Amino acid sequence: MEIALNSAVRSQTRAQFDLIAPLYPTLERLVFGVHLDDARRAFIDDVLKADRALLVGEGNGRFLKSVLTRKLVGCLKVVEKSKAMIRLTKSRIGGTGKVPLELIEADFLRCRLGREFDCVVTHFFLDLFNPPTQLAIIKKIGEITTEKGTWINVDFTPPRTMAGRALMWLQYTFFRIVSRVEARRCFDESAMATQNGWIVVANRRFLDGFVVAKRYKKRRR
């Protein structure tokens, strides 16, 4: 499926996580237990080894903290749009960490970044968006990642069971109302990623495939 780049999506995305930020980890634990954390950590070694890693839409800093406690080389940047999420991140991480860290409060699609990262991480980020915005994000990740760089993506996947569809519907309805997320359902990014030069080199399934963690590399030209 070819998805066109929509100029509107380049300017700004409308998701708004300030309201939900303090409740987000508790809600997640109630519904999914520890499984989403397991998925986030599936490829943490790539982030630990990276020279310059970028976490996009990192939320309130839980994954960042687990990285900071173990990362001994390189540096980290975080781009997160929500002011409340950034505030919670700062208080969560305190002075943790031995590597340089830059927290950038910005919309990823509007944020100026060079082709500087050997590891980009998107956790439960792309699944907020419809395919045209996903395409804009995938293209931008391609632009800012070095030729041998890695992109780690962890997302919900389109459900296959009735129970999965019901849970997904509830989740999207909730987040559309509270956080104004763009998508009404989740779209698998992998076909678009392949069309844009990425190949999946490893993947791990969680919650019976409801969540998938993928490690992408750029296809050699």
Ligand X SMILES: C[S@@+](CC[C@H](N)C(=O)[O-])C[C@H]1O[C@@H](n2cnc3c(N)ncnc32)[C@H](O)[C@@H]1O
Own/partner long-range contacts of 164-172 (Cβ < 8 Å, ≥24 apart)? 164/210, 167/31, 167/210, 171/31
118 forms part of the interface with ligand X (CB under 6 A):
no
Q: Which residue's CB is nearer to ligand X, number 35 or number 199? A: 35
> Restricting to residues 123-152, which ones interact with ligand X according to CB under 6 A?
123-125, 128
- Nearer to ligand X by Cβ, of 108 and 151: the residue is 108
Who's near 211: CB < 8 A, 6+ residues apart? 35, 36, 39, 154, 155, 156, 157, 205
- The pair of three-digit structure tokens given for residue 95, joined into one six-digit string: 């002075």
Minimum separation from the CB atom of position 108 to ligand X (A): 4
Rule CB under 6 A: say whether 79 interacts with ligand X: yes
Question: Which is closer to ligand X, CB of 124 or CB of 198?
Answer: 124
At 111 the three-state DSSP class reads coil
Cβ neighbours around 60 below 10 Å, total: 23
| CA 137 – CA 5 distance, rounded (Å) | 10
Q: How far is the CB of 219 from ligand X (least distance, A)?
A: 26
The stretch among 42-50, 57-65, 184-192, 213-221 that binds ligand X (CB under 6 A) is 57-65
145-156/211-218 β-pairing: antiparallel
92 or 199: CB nearest ligand X: 92
Applying CB under 6 A, the site for ligand X has a residue count of 19
Does 189 interact with ligand X (rule: CB under 6 A)? no
Per DSSP, the residues of 116-175 read -EEEEEEES-GGGS-HHHHHHHHHHHHHHEEEEEEEEEEEE----SHHHHHHHHHHHHHH
Is 85 or 193 the residue whose CB approaches ligand X more closely?
Answer: 85
Interface region with ligand X, contact rule CB under 6 A, candidates 73-81, 166-174, 197-205, 212-220: 73-81
Note the residues at the interface with ligand X (CB under 6 A).
Answer: 13, 15, 17, 40, 57-59, 79-82, 85, 107-109, 123-125, 128
